[in-house]
Structure 1
Amino acid sequence: MTHAIPATMQAAVLTRFGAALDIIDIETPSLRPGQVLVRIAASGVNPLDTKIQAGNAAHAQTRLPAILGMDMAGVVESVAPGETRFSPGDEVFGMSGGIGGVPGSLAQFAAFDADLLAHKPRTVSMREAAALPLIFITAWEGLVDRAHVQPGQKVLIHGGAGGVGHVAVQIAVALGAEVYATGSADQKTVIESLGATAIDYRAQEVEQYVQQHTGGEGFDVIYDTVGGATLDASFAAARRYLGHVVSCLGWGVHKLAPLSFRAASYSGVFTLLPLLTGQERARHGRIMAEAARMVDAGQLRVLTDTHHFTLEQVNQAHALVSEAQARGKVVIDIAR
């Protein structure tokens, strides 16, 4: 059910890098062609949000003052003339702003490009839906769009209990792959509950788990969600000729020799591109529709932190994430 749209709204605004977000009253946005106005119910917090706040994410191209918050779930209040994909009252979710000068979801309302949105899964709450967009898109682009995972392939997910990692495990399982995931010993139960074989990266060297699980042949697909030395380890664990390494954190300087000597391939994932460039935005909307389908089919669940934060407590929520104290995705409740 929609309500009267007020002329002003509350938003969490970043006015200076390294400073706290300020809760202020600003004008409720108006719609441009192709947009829908969403009453935000919940906003998911990603580590990137806290890096933007700290001034450590130049690649996000944030322009101050900025309303942060990339992930959201909410209710459509109005649509631009000619927009037919969504109607007032529709529940939607998506990764739809918060970078590149596009206002994000840390506000009571936001005008979003309809291409970036999909109908929210019916079987989960707004909080759970708001936790999914960035991590699901990142996982999907790596496994489906880049690596084209096939049934029966041996897939290794590095960081299988992390945000992107735990979703990637579930996507690979749903695709019919034989899935393995690295993590610490205390993450074994979580990883196995998602359908993967857990590998304790502290207890085994690369050569050991490649020998144990692939007979020394290497994995067909490896998704690195950690970066750094873990990406180097991925190059050494890829299957000869057919191996494909994907990384969403391949930003360092790496030696490609181990990958080249195995005649394997590499792909990078940069989930922010559609928001930054305006290109391929409709793909993100289609990927979000896949997320909703998987959730409603019982193939996907998202791990959320048990803390509840309001918009006024946004800085506490960001601190929990930046200090790596969260257990699962942190979500801020916007609507009350």
Structure 2
Amino acid sequence: MKAIGICGTGGLDVLVSTNVPIPRPAPTDLLIRVQAISVNPVEAKIRAGKWAGGTLPSGSILGFDAAGIVDSIGSEVPPGLFQVGDGVWLLGSTLPSHSNAEYMVSDYRVVSRKPKSLTFEDAAAFPLVGLTAWELLVDQMKVGEVPGAVLIINGAGGVGSVATQIARHVLGVSTVIATASRTASINHTKKLGATHIISHREPLKPQIDALSLGIPIQYIVILTTTTKTVLDEAIDIVAPWGKIGLAVQGPPGCYEGLGAGQKKGISIHWGFVFTKMILQWKVETQGQILSKLADLVDKGAVQSITTQKLDLTLDGLRQAHALMESGQTIGKVVLRVPEQDAFQ
């Protein structure tokens, strides 16, 4: 099958077209014909050799998010759960899940039928960021159990685009503050349900004080490359017994100030979407979450976060990686499998 892999680590030129055997599904796997993928910042870090998880060998196929069509079903997949021809979306069950290829395999427990109302391209935008947002806000931080406002730092990114919608439209939080600084990112976060916008380029507390909310900031979700300044501000802003969620690995030394949160009794929650995959713990819940998200999308509670579409060609994937490294993306960039020159 055709695929795009890496011939080492480095710049965009290490992404290369290749031909590899179609993967053989295990008894609990689905074989999926990929129709679209999306790209996340972690993939650019892996390609560049800057990933905290280590360096992948030459010849590796990258990719996580995918939407596609079930091609075959393993013998131990529960009967009736999936049918050949089903449209599905998934993050995958390996690290990475090798979605930058014509076919990929995945444990059936982390796969769900995609929303009927979304194209394959728009569906491919969701799995990694949707799972990250849901697990962090709903399962770990339990946003909404204690009344108060939510502050999302980097509301226009992929995870922020879903987290804003979950907080506002699923969990029913009445005050959702998002940070954004450019006109396009401000408009994007407003469209998704943020009730207030502040700039992450300016000190946060004076901007929040100026809003005169009358309610505490009970939850803060940090979705940007964590710095000591951001954490210091979050600890200062969050209410006593409040919660701070982190979903991006920060540079060395940036967590040294966490002890300052002891006086307030705050709790810290580390959002890492690969925990269940790596530790083989509660794996099935990721497929269940994707199924819930599909239902919410079809009901209109959660809307598409796609902002740019490219073809899944070598040039298209290189362009997507460059966009990830620019730090200027809004929502998600997706790549569709074209009828001609796919993966070439």
* TM norm structure 1: 0.89
Match among 295, 320, 329 for residue 317 of structure 1? 320
* 1:140 pairs with 2:137: no
Tell me how far apart the structure 1 counterparts of residues 279 and 204 of structure 2 sit (CA, whole Å). 40
* Amino acid across the alignment from 1:199: I
Tell me how far apart the structure 1 counterparts of residues 255 and 161 of structure 2 sit (CA, whole Å). 26
Tell me how far apart the structure 1 counterparts of residues 29 and 64 of structure 2 sit (CA, whole Å). 16
Provide the aligned length of Structure 1 versus Structure 2: 324
In the other structure, the counterpart of 1:182 is 179
Q: Which runs of 5+ in 2 are unaligned?
A: 340-344
Tell me how far apart the structure 1 counterparts of residues 331 and 189 of structure 2 sit (CA, whole Å). 13
Per the TM alignment, residue 61 of structure 1 is displaced from its structure 2 partner at its CA by 6.3
Q: Check conservation: 1:71, 1:132, Cα contact below 8 A.
A: yes
Tell me how far apart the structure 2 counterparts of residues 304 and 162 of structure 1 sit (CA, whole Å). 11
Per the TM alignment, residue 208 of structure 1 is displaced from its structure 2 partner at its CA by 4.3
Match among 219, 222, 225 for residue 221 of structure 1? 219
Tell me how far apart the structure 1 counterparts of residues 64 and 212 of structure 2 sit (CA, whole Å). 37
Deviations 1:10-52 (A, max 9, x none): 0111131115222111111111121000000001100111110
Q: What is the SS of the residue equivalent to 1:66?
A: coil
5 Å-filtered alignment, 1:145-224, equals 145-150=139-144, 152-174=147-169, 175-177=171-173, 178-184=175-181, 186=183, 187-196=185-194, 197-210=196-209, 212-215=211-214, 218-224=216-222
- Aligned CA distance change for structure 1 residues 167 and 24 (closer, same or farther; 3 Å): same
In the other structure, the counterpart of 1:235 is 235
Q: What is the SS of the residue equivalent to 2:53?
A: helix
Per the TM alignment, residue 80 of structure 1 is displaced from its structure 2 partner at its CA by 0.6
In the other structure, the counterpart of 2:85 is 89
Match among 307, 328, 332 for residue 331 of structure 2? 328
In the other structure, the counterpart of 1:281 is 283
5 Å-filtered alignment, 1:14-163, equals 14-18=6-10, 19-59=13-53, 62-84=56-78, 85-96=81-92, 99=95, 102-150=96-144, 152-163=147-158
- Aligned CA distance change for structure 1 residues 208 and 198 (closer, same or farther; 3 Å): closer
Q: Check conservation: 2:32, 2:104, Cα contact below 8 A.
A: yes
Tell me how far apart the structure 2 counterparts of residues 195 and 305 of structure 1 sit (CA, whole Å). 16
Moved more, 304-313 or 278-287: 304-313
Moved more, 299-308 or 74-83: 299-308
* Amino acid across the alignment from 1:86: F
Identity over aligned residues, as a percent? 30
Per the TM alignment, residue 200 of structure 1 is displaced from its structure 2 partner at its CA by 2.5
- Aligned CA distance change for structure 1 residues 248 and 13 (closer, same or farther; 3 Å): same
Q: What is the SS of the residue equivalent to 1:29?
A: coil
- Aligned CA distance change for structure 1 residues 218 and 11 (closer, same or farther; 3 Å): same
* TM norm structure 2: 0.87
Q: Check conservation: 1:210, 1:237, Cα contact below 8 A.
A: no
Q: What is the SS of the residue equivalent to 1:40?
A: strand
Q: What is the SS of the residue equivalent to 1:255?
A: helix
Tell me how far apart the structure 2 counterparts of residues 183 and 92 of structure 1 sit (CA, whole Å). 32
Moved more, 313-322 or 122-131: 313-322
Deviations 1:59-97 (A, max 9, x none): 266444311110000000100113132110111101115
Per the TM alignment, residue 255 of structure 1 is displaced from its structure 2 partner at its CA by 0.6
Q: Check conservation: 2:29, 2:73, Cα contact below 8 A.
A: yes
Tell me how far apart the structure 2 counterparts of residues 317 and 185 of structure 1 sit (CA, whole Å). 20
* Amino acid across the alignment from 2:325: S
- Aligned CA distance change for structure 1 residues 61 and 136 (closer, same or farther; 3 Å): farther
* Amino acid across the alignment from 1:225: L
Tell me how far apart the structure 2 counterparts of residues 68 and 324 of structure 1 sit (CA, whole Å). 20
Per the TM alignment, residue 117 of structure 1 is displaced from its structure 2 partner at its CA by 0.7
Tell me how far apart the structure 2 counterparts of residues 138 and 248 of structure 1 sit (CA, whole Å). 8
Q: Check conservation: 1:67, 1:98, Cα contact below 8 A.
A: no
Q: Check conservation: 1:309, 1:317, Cα contact below 8 A.
A: no
Q: What is the SS of the residue equivalent to 1:27?
A: coil
Per the TM alignment, residue 205 of structure 1 is displaced from its structure 2 partner at its CA by 3.7
Match among 260, 264, 267 for residue 265 of structure 1? 267
In the other structure, the counterpart of 2:3 is 11
Tell me how far apart the structure 2 counterparts of residues 284 and 62 of structure 1 sit (CA, whole Å). 25
Q: Which runs of 5+ in 1 are unaligned?
A: 1-8
Per the TM alignment, residue 283 of structure 1 is displaced from its structure 2 partner at its CA by 1.6
Q: What is the SS of the residue equivalent to 1:127?
A: helix
Q: What is the SS of the residue equivalent to 1:298?
A: coil
Tell me how far apart the structure 1 counterparts of residues 128 and 212 of structure 2 sit (CA, whole Å). 30
* Amino acid across the alignment from 1:54: A
* Amino acid across the alignment from 2:8: R
